[in-house]
Amino acid sequence: MAKHDEDCDPSTFGYRDNDSDGFPDANCCNVDAAGADVCGSDCQDAMPTIHPTGAESCNGIDDNCDGRVDEGLVRRSYHPDCDADLYGAAGSPGISGCAPPPADPTCASPTATWATNDSDCNDGDSHVNYGTSEDSCNAIDDNCDGLLSPVEDADRDGSANATCGGDDCDDNDPTIYPGAPELCDRVDNDCSLTAAPGGVDATEDVDDDGHAPIGDTCSGGMPADDCDDADPSSFFGHAEVCDGADNDCNGTVDEEPAASASCSLEHATAWACTSGVCTATTCTTGWGDCDSDRANGCEDDLTGGSNCGACGASCGLACRAAACDDAVELSSGSEHVCARQTSGSVACWGRNTYGELGDGGTTNRNLAGPVPTLVGVAEIEAGGEHTCARTSAGVVLCWGHNTYGQLGDGTKVDRTAPTEVTGLADAVELSADNGHTCARRASGAVVCWGRNNYGQLGDGTITDRTAPVTVAGLTDAVELSLGNGHSCARRTMGAVVCWGDDFYGQLGDGGSGSSGSPVAVTGLTDATEIGAGNGYSCALRASGAAVCWGSNSVGQLGSGLGSASRVPVAVAGLSDAVEIDVGSGHACARHVAGTVSCWGYDAYGQLGDGATTTQRAPVSVIGLSDAVEIVTGGSQSCARVSSGEVFCWGRDYAGALGDGGSTDSSLPVHVVPM
């Protein structure tokens, strides 16, 4: 075996072992016979525990000289864990080692230990650590992830809501939380509830106009350009108005002169502004200043009935486009009334069971309302439960009840709106009653349609007709009037003929049998107007006297007697009449002076004398002195006066009086438009 110089002395043989551990120093080497280096094996010849057979310990040293340090051992960083939850305090300095330090960490808790991490955001609470689930409502970040649970922090602004013990005063708005910057938004952004810069500054926007006062310290949100935070109409950029304030915040109250500011006056097109007070000088068309107070603008609608066209210019029935559209003709059915107006329009009121008001529905109406789309009307005629209108061209339209074909449109279907009568284009007059209608043609001939059970259509049959048929032998008629089951016509020279039912003698020829063609009324040659009712008829004579014939069960003949008559008898005390109209069981006459008297059935006050007592001779209607037209219906009467107003009295069934109520009246009441 060759010797080697292992003591690092080339002049000698042997080896160096400074720590006397039996292993030569690895720093001493020699070359053997083969020319290879031969060295010692002790990698640390100054420490006897370090040599090729030494035990590896956790000391950061290669104890067994194999070129590795602490192999097989784990070195960790140990952090104080004061609450002993296996999570060290976040950010705490660590002690490196392969095992926990032998000494307890410096903590107040007697259970303190060491942890191999520093992720505990609250090392004083064992329930708060990185491994805990975020599921409690305690305003604490339980799992140390930097977030509260959605229950605690709905708006995710980092502050818990008050219900979970937090201090977020609005957990639905992420701009609101303790410490948030205060914005100009009328909100307590930082939850301080104190004056600026925290809380809702009283000067943020007192007048709630979206503008903070000039110089306000809040930021963002609304502009701080309000020169008067007590006035919502004053801020930079606002339109200058006439109110004595600097609305646009330019430093001057510039609504004077008037051209510098606008006025908020209803319906005014021009105005003046003086000392902050605006007054109207010109009104929009259709509006007027009728109260002499220019400061409240043009407050009155001149298209309304009380100020039609000008202040205080009232209309009798209606105002249309700033002009009165008053009644010029009336006609009454059993329980409804219609008026033709100046414009050629028609207004109706009362019962509407069958659509007799012509408004497209079947709802009763106690105010005068229009028949839509009906224009150019030259005559209006109301039957028992239907209505007809004649246009200036001679065409006839009807609507309402049609059981017997009384609408003349070829059907028996009720109509709620006007429908044209078949084959009639030259009508000059209309008359209607419960179940039938007639028209006088320009030639003097007469046509009728509807119910014909008594021969009231005058065509010689008793067959109902849904379209016009000619009255036999009548060629010189100048006026028509229809009753319940019979018809009458005044002829050119003043004679009167009637046809249809004669049960009560209402045909006036002294006989007692119904007639399907016209028969002459006995002894009547000077009639100027005629009227037919329910079982009786009347006529006005040229002298101003009146005669009636037929049934007299309720005094409707006006003779002062209780007996019926099959020939004309004089109406008692009537000598100056200029108009007569006959209803179901009562009749009325208009006198030269404009007064009105009525007679007959009076259970509902339809005689207008303030009572409800049936009268066999005329009694005066109270309160009427300027009547220009009268009409009678089932149990109501109406008059048109010189002002264009309409008054009705009697039974108010279904709104037939048109005064907006539902109470019968024995005195005239004013018809009110819708």
Q: What is the pLDDT of residues 448-477, one digit of tens each?
A: 999 999 999 999 999 999 999 999 999 999
Q: At 296, list the tokens.
A: 């409240």
Residues 474-497 have a mean pLDDT of 98
Give backbone dihedrals phi and psi of 554, rounded to 5 degrees, phi first.
Answer: -125, 25
Stretch 587-597: mean pLDDT: 98
Q: How far apart are CA 1 and CA 552, in angstroms?
A: 174
Q: Is the pTM of this model over 0.85?
A: no
- Encoded amino acid at 548, one letter: C
If one counts every other C-beta atom within 10 angstroms of the C-beta of residue 250, the result is 12
pLDDT band at 3 (very low <50, low <70, confident <90, very high): very low
pLDDT at 405 over 60: yes
Given this model, what pLDDT does residue 193 score?
Answer: 67
| 22-33 b/e (C-beta count within 10 Å ≥ 16 → b) | ebbbbebbbeee
Structure confidence by residue, pLDDT tens digits, 145-201: 767 777 777 788 778 887 777 888 888 888 888 877 767 776 777 777 654 444 555
Give the list of residues 6+ apart from residue 1 with CB closer than 8 angstroms, or none. Answer: none
Q: Which of 3-17, 34-48, 412-426 has the lowest mean pLDDT?
A: 3-17
Strand order, beta sheet including 446-450 = 427-432, 436-441, 446-450, 465-470
3-state secondary structure of 98: coil
pLDDT band at 274 (very low <50, low <70, confident <90, very high): confident
What pLDDT shows up at residue 258? 47
* Choice among 107-111, 331-335, 441-445, 544-548 with the minimum mean pLDDT: 107-111
Q: If DSSP codes are grouped into helix, strand and coil, which group holds residue 574?
A: coil
Q: What is the pLDDT of residue 11?
A: 54
Per the CB < 8 A criterion, the answer to whether 320 and 370 are in contact is no
pLDDT for residue 398: 98
Share of the chain above pLDDT 90, in %: 51
Can you give the pLDDT at residue 70?
66
Match 């033709």 to its residue by tokens: 340
Domain boundaries, the chain: 576-674
Per-residue pLDDT at 328 exceeds 90:
yes
Answer whether residue 254 shows pLDDT above 70: no
Whether 44 has a pLDDT exceeding 50, the answer reads yes
Residue 298 near residue 283 (C-beta atoms within 8 A):
yes
Distance CA 203, CA 184 (A): 10
* pLDDT over 60 at 5, yes or no: no
Write down the pLDDT at residue 656.
Answer: 98
Residue 376's pLDDT band (cuts 50, 70, 90): very high
Q: What is the Cα–Cα distance from 534 to 518, expressed in whole angstroms? A: 18
How far apart (Å, rounded) are the C-alpha atoms in residues 508 and 533?
A: 13
Report whether 586 contacts 571 (CB < 8 A): no
**In whole angstroms, what is the distance from residue 186 CA to residue 206 CA?**
8
Mean local confidence (pLDDT), 254-266: 62
Which residues touch 146 (CB under 8 Å, ≥6 apart)? Answer: none
Residue 485 reports pLDDT greater than 80:
yes
Is-contact 586 637, C-beta < 8 A?
yes
Q: What pLDDT score does 198 carry?
A: 47
Quick check: 9 pLDDT over 70? no
- C-alpha distances (whole Å) from 520 to each of 63, 165, 484, 557 are 156, 107, 19, 19
- With residues binned 3-state (H G I as helix, E B as strand, rest as coil), the percentages for the chain, rounded to 5, are 0, 35, 65
The residue ranking higher by pLDDT, 100 or 550, is 550
280 or 465: which carries more pLDDT confidence?
Answer: 465
Positive or negative torsion for Cα 263, 269, 270, 271: negative
Alpha carbons 549 and 530: distance in angstroms, whole number = 12
Mean pLDDT of the chain: 87
What's the mean pLDDT in 28-35? 73
Query: pLDDT over 70 for what percent of the chain?
Result: 91
DSSP string, 464-490: -EEEEEEPTT---EEEEEE-SSEEEEE
The whole-number pLDDT of residue 132 equals 79
Longest dimension (CA), the chain: 187
